[in-house]
Amino acid sequence: MEIYEGKPIFKGIAIGKIFYYQKGKQQVKREKIQDVAAEIARYEAANEKASEQLQALYEKAVKEVGEANAAVFEVHMMMLEDDDYVSSITNMIETQNVNAEFAVATTGDNFAEMFSQMDDEYFKARAADVKDITERLISVLSEQESAGEIGAEPVIVVADDLAPSETVQMDKDKLLAFITRYGSANSHTAILARTMNIPALIGVDIKEEWNGHMAIVDGREGKLYIDPEEEVLTKLQEAQKKEQEARELLSMLKGKEDVTADGKHIKLYANIAGVGDVANVLANDAAGIGLFRSEFLYLEAEDYPDEETQFLAYKRVAENMAGKKVVVRTLDIGADKQVDYFNLDKEENPAMGYRAIRICLDRPEIFRTQLRALIRASAYGEIAIMYPMIISVEEVLKIKAIVEEVKKELDEQGIRYGNFEQGIMIETPAAVMMSEELAKEVDFFSIGTNDLTQYTLAMDRQNMKLDTMYDPHHPAILRMIRMTIENGHKGGCWVGICGELGADTTLTETFLKMGIDELSVSPSFVLPVRKIIRETKVK
C-alpha cells in the first residue's frame, strides 16, 4: 500500500480503479508553406469549426452543471477571437511561412506561459484555458476529434491536468473522483467536482503506473491510497457507507420547507463568492443567497470593474435565482483582502483599519459605480443590498443619502430598477450596542460572526498561535447575537447570520430559540442545517 497527500477540493470518499487519463496531444511539426493566403484561410475555417464545437459543449454543460459553470466555454469562444491571439497566429503564418498547426501551437505555448507567470491565481488558472483552445484548434486542423473517453466502468480519473472541455465530455456516471498533479481551487475541474459532489485532490505526485490499480480517495483527509490494505479498505468502506446513507437521508429534504417542528418558518440561504457558485446553491436547494461577496469582482480584476461589468454579474445571479432573494454585500476590500490598484497604505492593524464601508464612503466614486450596478440589477430579480463594517447610525444615513442620489440619477436617465431592501452587517461590538437605533434605519441585519468574534475577543482570527484560545462559542458572542436579534425585532427588521457560526449545527437550535429569522451557510451545509431546523421546537 502506498499513501499520497494532496490538497482536497471536495470532501468525501471514493473507492475504485484508477484510470490514467492521457491527453491526446498532437505532435506538431514545423512545415514551410507556399500559399500564405490559403493557409490563413485554413486556420480561419478551423477557428470557425472550433467555435461551433465550443457552442455545442456550452449547451451540453448548461444541462449537466448549470449555466454558471458552463460559462467557461463562452470565455473559450471569446479567447478564440481574441485580437492578440489571432494576430499572433496569422502574423507567424505570414512572416515565417509556417503551417497553421505550428503557428497555433507556438502561440498557445507563449500565451499559456505568460498566464502561468502571473501572480494572480485566477489568471494562472487561465493558462489551462489557453492550452485547451489551442489543442482544439490543432485537432481540427489535423482532422482529429478530441476525446474525453474514460471507459465503460466507474473510475477514479488521474491526470496531470484536465481542461474544461475534457471534463465536460467525460461520462458523469463513470466519474468517482478526480486526482491531478496541477490545477487550482479555481479551475473548472475543481468547480465540476464541487458541483457533482465527488472527491477531488490536486497537487498529487501522480504516476502512470497506477493505471488499473485499486485506490481510495479520502477527500476529508486529502489522502490517496494505492492498493489499500484490507484493514484500511474495510474501514473506509464503512465510512463511505455512512456518508452515502447520510446523503440519501438529506436528499429527501430537498423541496421541503425550512420550518421548525412547531411551525416557525426560517429563511435558509447560501453564501457565495461569485457567479460560478450559483449552480451549487440551486443544487443544494437553498431558498436564496444570503451573502454574495461582491469583492470577488475586484479581486479578479486588474483595474476597477466598471458599472456594466458589475451590472451583468449581479443581473446574471438575480436571473439565475429566478425570484429568490439575493443579498449582495457591497465592496469589502481591506484587511486580509488586498487589491493592488486600490493603492492602500500598509497598516499596522489592517483588520481595524481602512476597509469596507470606510473606503466606500471615503471614495464615493467607487461606491456610486457599484450602487448603480446593483440598483439596476434589482429590476431583474429580488436584490437586497448589504453594507459591511457599520459602526454608527450616521454612516447608514450617509449611505441612504447616496442611494437616493443614485436612484434620482437613474430616474432622470430613464433607467429602470426594482424595489430592493437595504441592510447592514453586524460585525462590530459598536454595531451590537447601537442595534436598536440601527434597526429603525434598515430592512435587515446580517450578523457576521467571523469578525464579530475577532473584535469581541480582541483576537486575530488568522493568528495560528491563538487557535486554541479563539472561541466563537464564547458566552459574550452568544449574548451579542441574542441582543442583536432582540433589538432588530424591536426596530422592525429581520435578522440573520451569514458568518461561519450559521453553519455550526451544534448551535442551530440555540439560534432558533433566540428568534433568528435567517441563516446563510455554505451551499453544502444547507441540507444538514435544514434537517436540524425541521427537528427543532422553538417554543
Residue 146 belongs to some domain of the structure: no
Q: What is the pLDDT of residues 204-238, one digit of tens each?
A: 988 888 988 999 999 888 899 999 999 999 999 99
Does 188 qualify as catalytic in the annotation?
A: yes
Q: Where is pLDDT greater, at 141 or 184?
A: 141
Beta strand residue intervals within 330-391, DSSP E: 383-387
The C-alpha angle with vertex 460 and arms to 303 and 425, in degrees rounded to 5, equals 60
**Please, which residues have CB within 8 angstroms of residue 315's CB and are 6 or more apart in sequence?**
376, 377, 380, 381
What's 122-150 look like in SS3? Answer: HHHHHHHHHHHHHHHHHHHHCCCCCCCCC
Query: Are residues 271 and 239 part of one domain?
Result: no
Whether residue 201 sits in one domain with residue 314: no
The pLDDT of residue 357 is: 92
Residue 30 lies in a domain: no
Give yes or no: residues 356 and 496 share one domain: yes
**441-461: average pLDDT:** 91
Of 76, 360, 493, 498, catalytic: 498
Burial of 450 (0-12, 13-18, 19+ CB in 10 A): middle
Indicate if 379 and 264 belong to the same structural domain.
yes
Question: Among the three residues 141, 174, 199, which one is the final residue of a domain in this structure?
Answer: 141
Structural domain includes residue 358: yes
134, 280: one domain: no
Report whether 455 contacts 488 (CB < 8 A). Answer: no
- Co-location of 416 and 516 in the same domain: yes
Three-state secondary-structure class, residue 337: strand
For the segment 391-418, what is each residue's pLDDT rounded down to a tens digit?
999 999 999 999 999 999 999 999 999 9
Please tell me the distance from the alpha carbon of residue 430 to that of residue 434, in angstroms, as a whole number.
Answer: 6
192 vs 537, higher pLDDT? 537
What is residue 467's predicted lDDT score, i.e. its pLDDT? Answer: 67
Q: Is residue 233 assigned to a domain?
A: yes
CATH value at residue 64? 1.10.274.10
Q: Identify the active-site residue in 76, 188, 360, 493.
A: 188
Which domain covers residue 199, as residue numbers?
A: 2-22+151-250
Lowest mean pLDDT among 106-120, 225-239, 260-274, 390-404: 106-120
The answer to whether residue 508 scores a pLDDT higher than 90 is yes
Whether residue 433 has pLDDT greater than 90: yes
CATH number at residue 408: 3.20.20.60
Which H helix or E strand runs over 229?
Answer: none
How many domains does the chain fold into? 3
β-pairing verdict for 383-387 and 421-426: parallel
**Statement to judge: residues 179 and 258 lie in one domain:** no
Q: What is the per-residue pLDDT for 147?
A: 52
For cell 466606500, what's the residue? 360
Collapsing DSSP to helix, strand or coil, 92 comes out as helix
Q: Which of 203, 224, 250 is the last residue of a domain?
A: 250
Q: Is the dihedral of CA 215, 218, 223, 228 positive or negative?
A: negative
Same domain? For 366 and 489 the reply is: yes
Residue 263, sorted as left (phi over 0), alpha (psi -120 to 50) or beta, turns out to be left
